[in-house]
Chain A
């Protein structure tokens, strides 16, 4: 069940009505947990077992770590259990086949005939998100930043809370568990703000991202046979598509959670207005960057061990972040390149970038982003290389048959221009504030008009969320 599907509106309306109809916090939490599991079971009920497993492992590990305060060795053992459980889950379902096939290929290249096993497992939706969330729970207890959840129910709801279960934002235990301690009141719900956010997310996904998808798919179906101009337009279209897709989902997730009385962290902060690759990553998928910073970069030494070690740590974090996105060489190389750019921007040789005019810095950031996103979008390094080669050299193969690559719809240009304008204005906070503070009658009228004007732009070919694959 996708947030943009009609049936989700019914599901969410039912959840909302029952949730606010219940008087006791415990009953509400049980209801939300059941609803969350039902939501996830809509994809594949069998994988509910993995969420339960991950929850139980961290429930036990968290308790073990807390019980042994002062005994670092035992605590490490309990943390090891959490790491082994969650990363083992992730490794088995997401990375096993990739590493097995890569190792087999490498051994064969060395001349050692090898046949390593592959599992051919289906990737459970959202596994990268919820395993990172549960890990944050045990890690924060280990680092002394958090006390264990009051009940298994609280922890299960933190892990399984349906608005953020399948594609984030990656919530930290310390920012969510506290919200479960007391009953949410209606006064805590910024209804108009939440509805705006939900609506904006819906428009991003259904009206923009899904409309761009067929064009991008068509270009990637015939890599190398498309002229450079079309490839650049496709790269621009994909950068718009992925932003609208992912941030749209996040907006809807935050809006849904807010309507239930819960606050989720911000995940996007106008990334395309960034002036460097480093700044971009502080604005894009903020909660993933935060997770890696807190639980990988800092424990590795962060910037405490000198400039060179700091840069190395930073680069490693980017490589791991690339790997987090998917089990494939393309993602690893993607992470390596982004890490290299971030490192370059920090060393003296890269300082000249800061002296460029602001708009040129943004152009540079977009250039890097669009070129490297071909790695993200392409299934193989070979395909990505072909496309990047066309982008950078202007040379392409023979033109595909007429109609293979559909023309960029002209309506998309004014639509994207409007969307960008709204995006820039949105960042000032003026629009959001005025809209959410309007009287109910004015707000109702604005929303009525906005919904009626948005519906005609809903794509009739909905595509799955890109980040569901991670």
Chain B
């Protein structure tokens, strides 16, 4: 009896202490993840809306320009925050968004969500990175495993890793390997494996994260891509400048692909999309999905909008609808606007949103 009580007390104490430790794990500092999220949580009642998405959002959407344009169009006093973070995929975005929604924002009425693809594959070769670990809470881990059902094939660099699964059962068997990765990451997060140094550095304020709160406050979260300290950003820009015809080819290709609009049959995690929409609405906000104009087609989003699965979609990638966003001079590299392009897209975004608000009045 006493040993059994000992085991019980072990489990209980372990769980309590573990939860306290996990709660102290800081958000990853990479790409502004931590400071941008924490800034918003500190100023939650200052904003009516947020943009949440990848680097296309981070560098491409300027809140001040958006607010000004919206005011000119008859909606003054509106304030939006840019919660874009470089490299943020759907599940990571959901994880950050849930943190924001869980704080119970009262003023937040609109969530602009960038292209929810629910890509369950882990694209970076090093799966054990803080970004991946962070979003693997129990709920997201299960969602990601479920979403594997819709994944088409493993990325090329994973082929060797998944070889035994690929050989074992042919099509689809590799998903077991991918699921194991998600489970490992989930366990790492829930047990806080290896997070001690980060907790320590966070406690002694050693892990300076970029950007600073002051920089965020100045622009409401938008970052000037020309000031990005990451070496990759400058490299991509130089490559973009070195190949001027590449962009034209990309746009031409996109126009061609826009004509094809297949209705999704499988290969998409509708359950996760529906859950996301329900979560946003449960927090008293309305979701609006948008596709950034980065020269890539997004037939999936268009099909989902056609089917009514996405309540509102702003398809900025459609060249015929938003031709003003196409000129190469507005772009910093193939995936991002330069500051001038960002200002323009923000105004165009505001115009599109104003039309949406007008339609709601009608």
Contact = CB atoms under 8 A, between A and B. Distances in A.
Interface stretch (A256-264, A359-367, A449-457): A449-457
A146 B195 CA distance: 51
B9 A460 contact: no
Contacts of B206: 410
Q: Which of B14, B21, B201 has the most CB of A within 10 A?
A: B14
Interface in A6-33: none
B155 interface: no
Contacts of A451: 10, 14
A460 B128 contact: yes
Given A448-B14, A449-B17, A460 B2 contact: no
Interface string B35-54: 00000000000000000000
B1 to A, nearest CB: 9
A459 B6 contact: no
B25 to A, nearest CB: 8
Contact of A440 (B5, B12, B18): B5
Contacts of B3: 440
Q: Which of B8, B18, B197 has the most CB of A within 10 A?
A: B197
B13 interface: yes
SS of B interface (majority): helix
Given A455-B18, A456-B193, A449 B199 contact: no
Interface string B175-215: 00000000000000001111111011100101000000000
Interface string A199-233: 00000000100010000000000000000000000
B13 A444 contact: yes
B11 interface: yes
Given A440-B5, A441-B2, A460-B128, A448 B196 contact: no
B10 A445 contact: yes
Contacts of A448: 9-17
A115 interface: no
Given A445-B10, A447-B10, A452 B17 contact: yes
Contacts of B278: none
A330 B200 CA distance: 38
Contacts of A444: 5-11, 13
Contacts of A442: 9
A215 to B, nearest CB: 13
A30 B5 CA distance: 33
A440 B196 contact: no
Contact of B199 (A443, A456, A458, A459): A456
A442 B3 CA distance: 11
A108 interface: no
A456 B12 contact: no
A106 to B, nearest CB: 45
Interface in A276-305: none
Contact of A443 (B6, B18, B195, B204): B6
Contacts of B128: 460
A452 B14 contact: yes
Q: Which of A441, A453, A455, A456 has the most CB of B within 10 A?
A: A456
Interface string B105-148: 00000000000000000000000100000000000000000000
B197 A449 contact: no
Contacts of A458: 193-194
A439 interface: yes
A111 interface: no
A452 B197 contact: no
Interface in B204-232: 204, 206
Contacts of B9: 440-442, 444-445, 448
Contact of A456 (B2, B10, B196): B196
Contact of B18 (A439, A447, A452, A459): A452
Given A448-B11, A448-B14, A456 B192 contact: yes
A460 B193 contact: yes
Contacts of A352: none
Given A441-B5, A444-B9, A411 B197 contact: yes
A456 B194 contact: yes
A459 B8 CA distance: 28
Nearest to B197: A411
Nearest to A443: B6
Contacts of A446: 13
A306 interface: no
Contacts of B10: 444-445, 447-448, 451
A411 B200 contact: yes
A210 to B, nearest CB: 10
Q: Which of B6, B16, B17 has the most CB of A within 10 A?
A: B6
B6 A453 contact: no
Interface in A416-470: 439-449, 451-453, 455-460
A49 interface: no
A453 B197 CA distance: 12
Contact of A455 (B5, B12, B13, B193): B193
A440 B7 CA distance: 8
A445 B2 CA distance: 13
B21 A456 contact: yes
A441 B194 CA distance: 28
Contacts of B15: 448, 452
B126 to A, nearest CB: 10
Nearest to A456: B196
B17 A453 contact: yes
A348 interface: no
Interface in A149-178: none
A409 interface: yes
A458 B196 CA distance: 8
A439 B196 contact: no
Nearest to B12: A448
Nearest to A412: B197
Contact of A449 (B14, B192, B200): B14
Nearest to B194: A460
B193 A440 contact: no
A211 B17 CA distance: 23
A440 B4 CA distance: 8
B199 A440 contact: no
Nearest to A191: B3
A92 to B, nearest CB: 35
Contact of B13 (A207, A445, A459, A460): A445
Contacts of A440: 2-3, 5-6, 9
Contacts of B195: 456
Nearest to B203: A411
Interface of A: 207, 211, 409-411, 414, 439-449, 451-453, 455-460
Interface of B: 2-3, 5-18, 21, 25, 128, 191-197, 199-201, 204, 206
Given A411-B197, A440-B5, A440-B6, 4 more contacts: A439-B6, A445-B10, A452-B16, A452-B18
4 A-B pairs closest in CB distance: A440-B6, A448-B13, A456-B196, A444-B9
26 contacts: A411-B196, A439-B6, A443-B6, A444-B13, A446-B13, A447-B13, A448-B12, A448-B13, A448-B14, A448-B16, A448-B17, A449-B14, A449-B17, A451-B10, A451-B14, A452-B14, A452-B15, A452-B16, A452-B17, A455-B21, A456-B192, A456-B195, A456-B196, A457-B196, A458-B194, A460-B194
